[in-house]
Amino acid sequence: MSSSDPLLTTGAIQLPKPGAKAASYGGRGIVEVRDVIQILETANIPCCVVGGYALVYYGARMVPNNWEICVPTDSFERASAMFIVTPLSETYEPWVKIQPQVGSLKHTYPQFRLKGVNFSFFIIPAFEYFIRCEPSNFEKSEREIPFPKLECFAQSLLDTQRYLDLTNLIDGMDLSEEWGEEHLNLDKPGEIEYAKEKNEKIVASLSEYPNSRPSRLRDTPMDLRQKWQTIVRTKQKRIGIEVPGHLYSTRFRIKGSPDPRLREERNI
């Protein structure tokens, strides 16, 4: 870790499988995910990376376990099917199911693994993140990986009630109350119909998990502005004792440090 960015995760991020080799870029899988993105784009399926790797791109200190590749909801079935038939099934294989997560349907989406390599990825429909998955809403990293634009991603995390992820994004980019007022829709009462629909899907999905209790999204009006302000105003309180608080504006950012997307040799 460098003194200019001491919190950037550099370790391998895939759980090893006996006999499999490490993914590229120290286990992160940059080359491998670019290959998957190229496959989807060649099939005229726009896609972008969401989840933990999108948060890392925006400066959060995290060690994601896998890649989440978001595709338009109406292309989800086609995108998923591509990897279970030839010729792609000769290179990729279905991978392990995960347990249900809070407010998420990720456990219902397919995960694939590159054969012989510790690299896995999920195909995620845009419904999961309530995001318009189209190129005009993407930006590409130094390594040519598409991510949702900052304002799109922040609005998505707010709308889908991913408040922990939103906290990581705010701390990674050192976002302000003013930024939210300028770039986000904080006046609406939340995405109530979306929450209701997703809650129904979550409950239905748990029939295979008898010991799991449904974790529903709130489906009554909310004050999004208050939620945004509360998370932003507590940035400094989240700075732990492991870093010198007087030098940091957030737990991830040194005071005066540049936009993490602009840092050279980020390898993402």
| pLDDT per residue as tens digits for the range 14-55 | 345 667 899 999 999 999 999 999 999 999 999 999 999 999
Beta bridge partners of 148: 138
Evaluate whether 118 touches 17 at the Cβ level (below 8 Å). Answer: yes
* pLDDT at 244 (0 to 100): 87
* pLDDT at 5 (0 to 100): 36
CATH architecture of 1-148: 2-Layer Sandwich (3.30)
* pLDDT at 4 (0 to 100): 35
Q: So where are the chain's domains?
A: 1-148
DSSP structure class, residue 154: H
For every one of its 268 residues, what pLDDT tens digit does the chain have, with 9 covering 90 and above?
333 333 333 233 334 566 789 999 999 999 999 999 999 999 999 999 999 999 999 999 989 989 999 999 999 999 999 999 999 999 999 999 899 999 999 999 999 999 999 999 999 999 999 999 999 999 999 999 999 999 999 999 999 999 999 999 999 999 999 999 999 999 999 999 999 999 999 999 998 888 888 789 999 999 999 999 999 999 999 999 888 888 999 999 999 999 999 987 788 9
Q: Which two structure tokens, joined as six digits, stand for 46?
A: 């726009």
Evaluate whether 148 touches 156 at the Cβ level (below 8 Å). Answer: yes
